[in-house]
Amino acid sequence: MNKVSIMTIWLMQLLCMLVEVSGQSPCPQYFTYITDPSTNEIMGQVQIPSPPRNVELHLKVGLSIAVALPTRYVGRLELAHSKEDSVRIVQQGGPLLYRILFPLSRPIPVLTGIWFNDQVYCVGPRAVGPVVTSIVLEHTLYPPQMVPLSQNTPSYVRPSQNTYHPVYIHLPEVQTMRPFFTIPTIQPSRRPTESKKKPLTPRPVTTERIDLSDEIDKNIFLNPNIPQSRPQLQSQPQPSQNNGDCGRSVNTNEINPLISKGMSISPGQWPWLVALFLVKIDFEFQCAGSLVTKRHVITAAHCLKLNAQTNVNIPPSTMLASVGRYRLRDWREAGSVNREIESYMLHPDYTHQGTGDSDLAVLVLRTSVEYSSTIKPVCLWPGPSNLQNVVNKLGFVVGWGRDEFGNPYLAEPRMAKLPIVSQEVCLWSDQRFVSFTSNRTFCAGLKDGSGPCNGDSGSGLVLHDSTTGRYQLRGIVSRSLFDLNEMTCDLTQYVVFVDVAQYMPWINQQISIP
């Protein structure tokens, strides 16, 4: 009887607490406090009634808590249902539900604002106290149309514990906290800021860093070759088309087709292929890239964003480039070297809005690499930029991305042969391409279920010049349409590539900077 009384009192206290907290919601029609029945953990619930269909759905929630958080964890915003069910509910005209996991069980954060697709749904007062932490959490649900092909894909493609991240933390009168999973201090933006006038030469993205080059060179797990002396930096690397080593492959007569549904290639066959990793607790594969000089790598701009939901740049000092790599997880692989990223430049026209236009970036390695049988640059596009000149030609794409069995990435790279199609053929094939392409992109593919998929972002599409025997970089893997049934890239449709030829003046400018 005594136990029953204690339980009754506890439940009454909990109910009173929930009623009190619930009454603090400035907009109960959109936001309420709920409990997890299994843990009795209090969390927030956001309901967006009848969200629009077939568009990007972006939710931003502001919270305020009257305490300094003890760790960098600031909570999480996630869908209440699975990604697949949420998409279907929206398509059927139903409400979209989100859960907010709070960073602390006490005190309970208060809601300060809800913004949905840049519209204000709710505004509330901040918490009151000597120390107040303000948090903004964001989440984006993409329509079943187009997805970036980076390994860090949107949450509905591949669930991940690191899918949702805060984009802005501020602690008045307390040491500023950093967003989840950033190593150096950065100041992320709340939303992409578009500028009508963009500089012709953007400043490289740099952060305060700890130089790990010596440790990488000395560590046999990260540098199997251990050079006797550190490589000398080149003050002005020359464009790779002027280099006698550029674009030369081995085993060109033994090319194996297809990344998805395909066969493996041989080591050194594509010596300009670069694997880009995020340095966290482990090295996490992010994207592929192409070596164009001893210090420069070209990849897709969206590969350098913290995730698909925000416009926050990944700090260069948290990235590692593996050059000459064949086996993705073999850190002692002979012929490969690892280099820190000193800085990178995103094309000034890139907006991170789902289009392939200007989805281009140039990375600068902290130290140069030496050319060898497994490390060579690809030739940059030397000819005219007219797309009609290359329509129906076969391009080669190599990467470690997702295969037909659903593996997120492969131990060894695969290669695809994709015919380039005209803009008219691409646009007529599916009306959704109108929003995702431009006169600076092109489409390619066999539409047979094969080709680059998630994890292949940043890979180069190269064309073989039979006269010189060299491979020339013409495209960068950017986007694909989305298969709602399979919840992954739709390879029965074309893949969108950045047309490198349209950006050659900018690329040459970047690789000529000391």
Residues 424 and 491 placed together within one structural domain of the fold? yes
Residue 258 in domain: no
- At residue 91, the pLDDT reads 86
Give the number of domains in the chain. Answer: 3
For the stretch 24-33, contacts whose Cβ atoms lie closer than 8 Å and that sit 24 or more positions apart, written own/partner, are: 24/110, 24/111, 25/111, 25/124, 26/111, 26/122, 26/123, 26/124, 26/125, 27/111, 27/114, 27/121, 27/122, 27/124, 30/114, 30/121, 30/122, 31/111, 31/114, 31/122, 33/108
Asked whether the predicted pLDDT for residue 71 surpasses 90, the reply is no
Residues 394 and 491 reside in one and the same domain: yes
Q: Say if residue 420 is in the same domain as residue 336.
A: no
333 and 422 co-located in one domain: no
Average pLDDT, integer, range 54-69? 89
Same domain, 359 and 413: no
Q: Which of 9-18, 414-423, 466-475 has the lowest mean pLDDT?
A: 9-18
Is residue 104, in this structure, part of any structural domain at all?
Answer: yes
Q: What is the mean pLDDT of residues 34-39?
A: 84
Q: Closest Cα partner for 149 from 475, 513, 508?
A: 475
Mean pLDDT of the chain, nearest integer: 75
CA distances from 52 to 47, 90, 117, 164, 243 (A): 14, 7, 10, 22, 52
pLDDT of residue 221: 35
Mean pLDDT value across residues 77-105: 90
**pLDDT single digits (tens) 114-161:** 999 888 898 888 888 888 888 999 998 877 655 566 644 433 333 222
Domain boundary among 106, 141, 176: 141
394 and 447 co-located in one domain: yes
Q: Which of 84, 112, 141 is the last residue of a domain?
A: 141
pLDDT for position 19: 36
Give the residue from 82, 113, 141 where a domain finishes. 141
User: Do residues 485 and 431 both lie within one domain?
Assistant: yes
Residue 284 lies inside a defined structural domain of this protein: yes
393 and 361 housed in the same domain: no
In angstroms, how far is the first alpha carbon of the chain from the final one? 80
Whether 148 is covered by a domain: the verdict is no
Residue 344 and residue 414 in one domain: no
Q: What is the pLDDT of residues 420-461, one digit of tens each?
A: 999 999 999 988 888 889 999 999 988 777 767 666 789 999
Task: Say which CATH number the domain at 453 has.
Answer: 2.40.10.10
49 vs 329, residue with greater confidence: 49
pLDDT above 50 (res 241): no
Do 323 and 356 have their domain in common? yes
In the predicted model, what is the mean pLDDT of residues 185-214?
Answer: 36
Q: Locate tokens 């929630």: which residue?
A: 61
Does 62 score more than 80 pLDDT?
A: yes
Pair 41, 137 in one domain: yes
Q: Picking from 10-24, 57-71, 280-294, 316-330, which range would have the lowest pLDDT averaged per residue? A: 10-24
Residue span of the structural domain in which 327 resides: 272-365
Q: Tell me, yes or no, whether 130 and 52 share the same domain.
A: yes
User: Does any domain span residue 198?
Assistant: no
Q: What is the pLDDT of residues 168-187, one digit of tens each?
A: 323 232 222 222 222 222 33
